[in-house]
Copies of this chain bind each other. A is one copy, B any other.
Amino acid sequence: MNRFGSRFRIALWGESHGPQIGLVLDGVPAGLPLSEEDFAADLLRRRAGAPGTTPRREADVPQLAAGVCRGRTTGAPLTIVFANENTRPQDYADLPDRPSHADRAARERFGGFNDPRGGGHFSGRLTLALVAAGVVAKKMLPEGVTFATRIAEIGGCTDPARFGEVLRAAEAAGDSAGGLVECCAEGVPMGWGEPFFDSVESLVAHLLFAVPGVKGVEFGSGFAAARMRGSEHNDPILDAEGRTATNHAGGIVGGLTNGNPLVVRAAFKPTASIAREQRTFDRTTGSVGPLAIRGRHDICIALRGAVAVEAAVAIALADLMRR
């Protein structure tokens, strides 16, 4: 359901066009300094407005609604709320089932009672809660843990200097582009992770596949490992601390961190909402016809998804963290 975690637990709620997006966190230690400003940097990374992102802009100012007193967490549930301001009430009746969106399946699942406006609870806007949880998670991690997250590919292009060009070409065609995000967490101590089911990979992937649009996740060499031999892939241990000559494992062996940088990549599909005309089933006519999706959409959801990927890794680590 809308919960995740065992020791650092998150529950979230909200809809694209409902009154608010919110989350409540359990397991945040008491005494952590926390203010609204702490969220600014990551929220900015998620914010729309840059090339390739939607023109729908929200202030997204977090309200610390519970669990903070005198600028520090209290150990009680930490609740963070974002008001939805820029909503556009729509006529419900004639919303079509958009291809590669949850619309059709959600109607089936909820007997037609789901909120259909902008995808409702299935909207990418929900990653706002994930990003906020990630900010808290990063504050909980030991000081030496640092994150480096980047867009590794857009539409198959691996040269950042050409990303703008690729995005503009897609936009000009009324189309969208997929993308690949890589997150690297350094300084994670050795031995985090829980056998059997709660391997580091399992928790991180569980969270990443909750991010709308993610269709693939790999660690270290990932899919390339399937094409390697053991003598190539094995990471020789160099010293008593367990340092290794290579990091094909992406920092995780047997589901546990091994002290190396944790490296994960998430593949985002291209935005399903495209301006360009598609042919799809029209419920009003009962036959296949043209569909042109209006509204404000990202060209490439990986752009704003990158900070959500980082949040997912941080949340999983905060849940697994041991003292």
A-to-B contact residues, CB < 8 Å = 1-4, 6-7, 9, 11-15, 18-20, 22, 24, 26-27, 30-31, 63, 65-67, 69-70, 72-79, 81, 92, 97, 99-102, 104-106, 108-111, 113-115, 117, 119-122, 126, 153, 155-156, 170, 173, 175-180, 190-199, 201-203, 205-210, 212, 214-223, 225-240, 242, 244, 248-250, 253-259, 267-274, 276, 278-281, 283, 286, 288, 302, 322-323
Contacts and interface: CB of A to CB of B under 8 A. Distances in A.
A314 to B, nearest CB: 15
A317 to B, nearest CB: 14
Contacts of A115: 69, 74, 76
Contacts of A70: 92
5 contacts: A2-B77, A75-B109, A76-B195, A215-B219, A226-B267
Given A1-B198, A99-B235, A104-B242, 17 more contacts: A15-B69, A20-B79, A30-B111, A31-B113, A73-B113, A74-B113, A74-B120, A100-B249, A106-B254, A108-B191, A156-B227, A173-B231, A209-B255, A228-B270, A232-B270, A233-B270, A236-B281
B111 A31 contact: yes
Contacts of A156: 226-227
A278 B202 CA distance: 29
Nearest to A275: B230
Contacts of A92: 70
Given A20-B66, A215-B219, A235-B100, A122 B255 contact: yes
Given A108-B190, A197-B210, A214-B201, A180 B226 contact: yes
B274 A234 contact: yes
A274 B231 contact: yes
Contacts of A202: 205-207, 209-210
